[in-house]
């Protein structure tokens, strides 16, 4: 599949076995802006699942893919993907192409500048048995099982102090889990 180059869109496609076969030029630029410095060859010909952290979200993504193949109808789902200097609201659209290929087109809907120096610390920490950030809406779970906005969490968890004990993993908050489950059924 040849991907169109549209500056507001980040696209990639998978084949019938969910192997990533193409990515557009914006993809690597976006990845780099998110602190993920790697080459196109690190992505192409690898299974989509390798790039999704968390079993729950992996399973729901598979269900969404199955639904698009089954119904042949595209699915669009909003999500959030921040950087240290901006809140970014995006929409992911899954669309079926011949031979059961799926195109993932991620469109940036809205960007709100912010200044969140502790953010990179939050993202780079990665462990089991830990505090949790929702992969989908970017809210963070506090000790009392409450999901709050990431900047609230950063203040509350004292990330700015560089707490070395902090462990963060990615999962799904209750409302995103419900929304994604509904979308995949």
Please name the residues in contact with 19: beta carbons below 8 A apart, sequence gap of 6 or more: 45, 46, 47, 48
Tell me the closest approach of the beta carbon of residue 155 to Zn ion, in angstroms: 19
Which CB sits closer to Zn ion, 48 or 176?
176
Q: Is 173 a binder of Zn ion (CB under 5 A)?
A: yes
Options 17-25, 39-47, 83-91, 168-176: segment touching Zn ion (CB under 5 A): 168-176
Is the CB of residue 172 less than 8 Å from the CB of residue 63?
A: no
Q: Is 176 a binder of Zn ion (CB under 5 A)?
A: yes
**Residue 12 burial (10 A CB sphere; 0-12, 13-18, 19+):** buried
Cα angle 173, 115, 39; round to 5: 75
Which residues face 92 on adjacent strands? 77, 106
Which CB sits closer to Zn ion, 9 or 139?
139
Which CB sits closer to Zn ion, 23 or 150?
150
Options 60-68, 93-101, 109-117, 127-135: segment touching Zn ion (CB under 5 A): 127-135
Q: How far apart are the first and last CA of the chain?
A: 27
Which CB sits closer to Zn ion, 43 or 140?
140
Q: Is 134 a binder of Zn ion (CB under 5 A)?
A: yes
Residues within the interface to Zn ion (CB under 5 A): 134, 136-137, 173, 176
């Amino acid at each position: 599949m040849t991907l169109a180059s549209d500056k507001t869109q980040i696209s990639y496609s998978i084949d019938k076995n969910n192997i990533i076969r193409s990515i557009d030029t914006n993809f690597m630029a976006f990845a780099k802006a998110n602190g993920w410095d790697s080459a196109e060859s690190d992505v192409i010909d690898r299974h989509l699942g390798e790039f999704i952290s968390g079993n729950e979200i992996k399973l729901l993504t598979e269900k969404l893919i199955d639904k698009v193949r089954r119904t042949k109808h595209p699915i669009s789902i909003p999500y959030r993907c921040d950087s240290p200097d901006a809140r970014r609201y995006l929409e992911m659209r899954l669309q079926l192409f011949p031979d059961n290929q799926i195109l993932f087109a991620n469109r940036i809907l809205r960007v709100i500048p912010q200044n969140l120096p502790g953010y990179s610390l939050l993202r780079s920490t990665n462990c089991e048995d830990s505090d949790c950030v929702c992969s989908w809406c970017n809210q963070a779970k506090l000790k009392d099982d409450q999901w709050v906005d990431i900047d609230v969490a950063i203040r509350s968890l004292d990330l700015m102090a560089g707490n070395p004990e902090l462990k963060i993993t990615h999962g799904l908050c209750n409302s995103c889990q419900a929304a994604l489950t509904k979308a995949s059924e």
